[in-house]
Amino acid sequence: MQDTETVSTGNCVIDTQFPWAGSRRQRYRRTVEVMPSHLADVGGIPVRRALPQRTRRLVGAWCFVDHFGPAAADAMQIGPHPHIGLQTVTWLLDGEVVHHDSIGSEQVIRPGQLNLMTAGSGIAHAEEATGNAARLHGAQLWVALPDRTRNSDPAFEHHGALPQVSAGSFDVTVLVGELLEARSGARTDSPLLGVDLAGRPGAASLPLRRDFEYCIVVLDGRLTVGVTDVVPGALLYLGRDLDELPIACDAPVRALLLGGEPLGEDVVMWWNFVGRSRDEFDAAREQWNAGSDRFGEVTSARARIPAPLV
Ligand code: MN
């Protein structure tokens, strides 16, 4: 993995002033949190895991944010493994990955496209970089499904093109939810927003919803949010009750703005599973390791990844 800039906070939380434009400067002065991502390895590729954090498990229904690469184009090779209770959102800045799952989906994804897999009661998939690119760089995000739909049938969507809108010097691509006049057709099971921000030198102000909480993860470059600079390797948590988001950059930048209505459910995560109790995980682990048809079969040359015993 390339070296990234060290996040200026050594610890979890800093207080920073967050002045906003014009007469509302005082009103919006507030505290935000900058939390360093932790490093992990997924399928041979190092990742910066921005969420979950020890002190913050969810942002809206977003429960997992992995930023991988830039790395060799074929670096990510993840054999068949199961999921329950979540959606996986795959988003590439560079590279090409093929997805196979146990409901028969086979889908190549390229930059600008969205793969959205809804695990529901159980699915398995494999994700393999094809190597047909100069390098691999992207993010995989998980969304915790609400209790209402978390045991639903598994599903998969590919969106070959997504709505885009300009705001100031930023191009905004809406992966899920809606922002400005752009609305994604991707399935959401709770009120949610996920957008890619591609900035050229300059600034923008994005309208936010006061009932959503938001965070930002920078994938490339440096983004100034209010008066806080954010670089790869950190989660900027903004909280709720914001009407607008002032962003700026002095060089090209790519970042994800994620948000949603707080889920308000006690979500538990273990390995590749999202649920509400340890008992659910014990059952899913035993079923996956025993080859139960709950998770089906995945077409892949890679070995199945067994669930850990503890
Ligand atoms: Mn997966």
pLDDT of residue 41: 87
Block residue for tokens 């070296």: 3
pLDDT of residue 30: 61
CA Rg, the chain, in Å?
19
> Ligand 1 centre and the CA of 272: distance in Å?
7
Q: Determine which helix (DSSP H) or strand (DSSP E) holds 118, and give its type and residue range.
A: strand 114-118
Block residue for tokens 């074929």: 74
> Ligand 1 centre and the CA of 142: distance in Å?
9
Please state the rounded mean pLDDT for residues 172-186.
Answer: 98
Please state the rounded mean pLDDT for residues 156-177.
Answer: 98
pLDDT digits (tens, 9 = 90+) for 103-124: 999 999 999 999 999 999 999 9
From CA 254, how far away is CA 38, in angstroms rounded? 20
pLDDT of residue 29: 55
In 3D, which of 215, 203, 217 has the Cα closest to residue 240?
A: 215
Return the structure tokens found at 241.
Answer: 């009750």
Do the beta carbons of residue 89 and residue 116 sit within 8 Å?
A: yes
From CA 207, how far away is CA 3, in angstroms rounded? 33
> Ligand 1 centre and the CA of 11: distance in Å?
30
pLDDT digits (tens, 9 = 90+) for 227-264: 889 999 999 999 998 989 999 999 999 999 999 999 99
DSSP output for 24-70: GTTTT----EEEE-EEEEETTEEEEEEESBTTB--BTTEEEEEEEEE
User: What percentage of residues in the chain have a pLDDT greater than 70?
Assistant: 90
> Ligand 1 centre and the CA of 46: distance in Å?
15
> Ligand 1 centre and the CA of 265: distance in Å?
22
The per-residue pLDDT of the chain, averaged, comes to 91
> Ligand 1 centre and the CA of 235: distance in Å?
21
User: What percentage of residues in the chain have a pLDDT greater than 90?
Assistant: 84
